[in-house]
Amino acid sequence: MKAILSGFLHMSGIAKQSGKPFDMRTLIVLVPAQNAASEKFNKLGVGYEVAELPVADSAKPAFMSLTYPCHAQLDISHEIFNGKMQPMVNGVSHVVLLKPVDKAAA
């Protein structure tokens, strides 16, 4: 999957309600905004919207070493989590740094 990566988060601690430990790695990506419509809901999207994807522990070093934002190819598998099929990011390749537009030169 090709994506625009805007950041990476690693969060760990003890959950307030359950008291159980947690350890989560999340990749923040920009995906094209999409339209959606149903009888009770309507969404019109232009540009990009944020999506969060879980990251495998083994892939953390790769995402910690990137400079954001960037465009990259993601290696994604699917795993069962809480009884549901979920995407899991296992790696990254073909990284291209995105440079901000210099408004003075434009």
Beta-carbon-side half-sphere exposure of residue 30 (alpha carbons within 13 Å): 13
CA-CA distance, 101 to 1, in Å (whole number)? Answer: 25
Residues 6+ apart with CB under 8 A from 88: 53, 54, 55, 56, 76, 77, 78, 79
* 30-50 confidence digits (pLDDT tens): 999 999 999 999 999 999 999
Name the stretches of the chain with pLDDT < 50. Answer: none
Q: Model-level pTM greater than 0.85?
A: no
CA-CA distance, 64 to 37, in Å (whole number)? Answer: 37
Identify the pLDDT of residue 69: 95
